[in-house]
Chain A
Amino acid sequence: MLTPANPTTQAAADDAILVVDNIVVRFETPEGPIVAVDDVSLKVKPGEFLSVIGPSGCGKSTLFNVVGGLLSDHQGTVNVAGETISGPHQSIGMVFQEESTFPWRTVTDNVAFPLELTGMPKAQRIERARHFIALVGLDGFENRYPGELSGGMRQRVSLARTLASEPKILLMDEPFAALDEQTRLLLGDKVLQIQQALKQTTLLITHNITEAVQMSDRIVVMTYRPGKVKRIVDIDLPRPRTSEIVGSEAFGRYVAQIWADLREEASRGMRDEEKHTLEHHKGGAS
């Protein structure tokens, strides 16, 4: 069930649609250079749901920005379907952690945004947008503005907007982090339904173990700073899945195993944060 940190695991076959190879990211900080991501390699197969999990400060979001092409100052390569990419790419659709709908556009216009960029005629793009709105379960809200919706509904609009661009890879950075646990589980169901219906290759960045186990085929556990791949866990739970699976014994075992790996990293992160806070206060007091 648990496999050592190695990008060429059984699950990651050679037909990988996304290959992240030896990514290293360094940041300059007032305290000196920090290695945020250290030699991270991943392979994602078509239709696979892969999650990257790690404690705060492990470089998950940095990795998200590298794969999405928003961060170009790094070592290593990102390949999508055999093509090395060096910036944002139409094959990768990103869903962000922060609320990212356009408040000045209705739900339909938000979802139709990527279609508008392709020059698709208005009637056609509205029809397409409605399809994706229905897919995320927001029928009836087409003409509402994001300000009239709840946080969970707004994240579904963001998801529909990204799906409307029909990306080969859906890249999500803790999209439900700001939501309560129950909404998060239910939206997890929705994401699973969509992923299974579209056979959508998905790379999810998260710090939530339940969310990762609920949805993933494999989970990449990362170490605290510098962010390295600690272990890759194959999730052998039946599909189609729903949030009901969180009550199963097998699910509990996966959660416990991943927490055992993460606990040490999270503790290191917490100690590091406390040390920094103390140093900061000492610096401020002197």
Chain B
Amino acid sequence: MTDATLTRPAFRRGVPPQLIGLGALVAFFLTVELLIQIGVINRFIVPPPSDVIGSFGRVIVEEDVFGRFLLTLSECLIAGVLLTVVGVGGGVLMHRYRLLQQACETWVAAMASAPIVLMYPLFLVIFGRSMWTMIMMGFVAALPPVILKTLEGLSGTRKVLVNVGRSFNLTPSQQFWKILFPAALPTIFVGIRLGLIFALINIVGVEFLINFGGLGQLINELAERYDLPGTYAAICFVILVSILFFMTLEKIERWLRPFD
């Protein structure tokens, strides 16, 4: 063993990166806790992390957090399925029909940066005070990145792969399913990931705004009661939804692309 290996820091000697990430998070919360305790940060604006942790039990027992968690999760799931079907389908159609792409791409891109959440009153009128308002808001707001990334993935397929398909005399359908789609899959997944982020933000945001539904409504109610530790605990559950979605998506991607 050389001197260089002897003096390597701990994280180079096999400490899992996840542990380092977790350690950094714990260090961050400890710092915040300390700054609150010594009065640098106002505890009426940011609650001490220890209070947030302490409020988990209360939020779970008294606020039906699991029911709300499942409601937000299912809204995101339905929006995610719609996004995948319509968004990927839209991207495929725009790639297939050049006129459609030329006519719509700019508008779709513009829609991606538009604050669609502000249209919630319109969605309330159309879908009523139901979970479908949240689902459709999440779906519409998250559609552009899925369409654009699908289009980007399909258009970016290496020309030589397309030529291999042509040299084997593939039909347009075979060319799509056997070459274009698998080649575009990594970029399509990036689009779906982005779409889910947009969907979750919008769903929780609308739940908060109209005070209806799952975790967004809970955050609203707790904030209205000025229960700051409870509010932050509920936000942690929103993050949990996000983590669950990303873990599932990663598993699906790994299953579809085992060579990556």
B-facing mask of A89-115, CB < 8 A → 1, else 0? 110111010111011100000000110
Return chain A residues, CB-CB under 8 Å to B258.
145
B interface residues, tally (CB under 8 Å): 20
B259 engages A147 (CB within 8 Å): yes
Decide: A96 near B259, CB < 8 A? Known: A102-B179, A102-B182: no
A99 engages B170 (CB within 8 Å): no
Which residue of A is nearest B182, CB measured?
A: A104
A100 engages B259 (CB within 8 Å): no
- A104–B181 Cα gap in the complex (Å)? 11
Return chain B residues, CB-CB under 8 Å to A87.
169
- A187–B251 Cα gap in the complex (Å)? 39
A165 engages B168 (CB within 8 Å): yes
A68 is an interface residue with CB less than 8 A from chain B: yes
Return chain A residues, CB-CB under 8 Å to B161.
100, 102
B160 is an interface residue with CB less than 8 A from chain A: yes
Decide: A93 near B167, CB < 8 A? Known: A104-B185, A104-B257: yes
Q: Contact residue range for chain A?
A: 20 to 34
Q: Among A69, A88, A92, find the residue whose CB has the most chain B CB atoms closer than 10 A.
A: A88
B259 engages A114 (CB within 8 Å): no
B259 engages A117 (CB within 8 Å): no
Return chain B residues, CB-CB under 8 Å to A96.
160, 163-164
B158 is an interface residue with CB less than 8 A from chain A: yes
Q: Which residues of B contact A (CB under 8 A)?
A: 158, 160-161, 163-164, 166-170, 174, 178-179, 182-183, 185, 257-260
- 5 inter-chain pairs at a CB distance below 8 angstroms, sorted by A residue, are A70-B163, A88-B166, A96-B160, A102-B183, A145-B258
Among all A-B residue pairs, the 8 with the closest Cβ atoms: A145-B259, A94-B167, A98-B160, A104-B182, A100-B160, A100-B164, A88-B169, A88-B167
